[in-house]
């Protein structure tokens, strides 16, 4: 997964952005959140998309989408929407009533995507992930069907 971050994000935010993204995917996510995370592979076994999510340990009604990526060649084909819908269903099965996630304020494609999926958007949250790491937060309530 780390190998696709740079080409898929096309240098977004330069070297600092590449470091931020790499630090968001430590091995522990793949050891401890396998039931709420998913990979999409092509027939040749190469990575097409991924979603890393989990249930909140603090608020059992909340599920969190930590990191989602789709090969840019597949953008607009419903891959991300399918991953999100899978996660909504899985989170609902496990008792979650809402899904939360964040993105960088400059990631306009992510912001538009979350809007289309019915998430509510916060104002920019300064220093959310540390000094200079502003974020926008999203929340989406789940119905009984996810």
What pLDDT sits at residue 142? 97
Structural domain contains residue 40: yes
Q: Helix, strand, coil % (nearest 5) of the chain?
A: 35, 25, 35
pLDDT in tens, 54-93: 999 999 999 999 999 999 999 999 999 999 999 999 999 9
pTM (2 decimals)? 0.86
The total number of structural domains in the chain stands at 1
C-alpha to C-alpha distance for 70 and 75, rounded to whole angstroms: 7
C-alpha to C-alpha distance for 95 and 82, rounded to whole angstroms: 20
Say which CATH number the domain at 98 has.
Answer: 3.40.630.30
Structural domain contains residue 5: no
């Amino acid at each position: 997964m780390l190998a696709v971050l740079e080409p898929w994000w096309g240098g977004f935010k330069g070297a600092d952005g590449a470091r931020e993204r790499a630090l968001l995917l430590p091995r522990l996510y793949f050891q401890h959140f396998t039931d709420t995370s998913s990979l999409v592979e092509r027939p040749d076994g190469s990575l097409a998309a991924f979603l890393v999510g989990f249930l909140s340990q603090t608020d059992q009604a909340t599920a969190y989408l930590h990191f989602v990526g789709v090969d840019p060649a597949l953008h607009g084909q419903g891959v991300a929407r399918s991953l999100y819908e899978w996660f909504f269903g899985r989170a609902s099965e496990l008792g979650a009533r809402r899904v939360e996630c964040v993105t960088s304020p400059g990631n306009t494609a992510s912001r538009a995507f979350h809007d289309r999926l019915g998430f509510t958007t916060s104002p920019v949250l300064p220093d959310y992930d540390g000094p200079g790491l502003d974020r926008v937060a999203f929340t989406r309530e789940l119905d009984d069907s996810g």
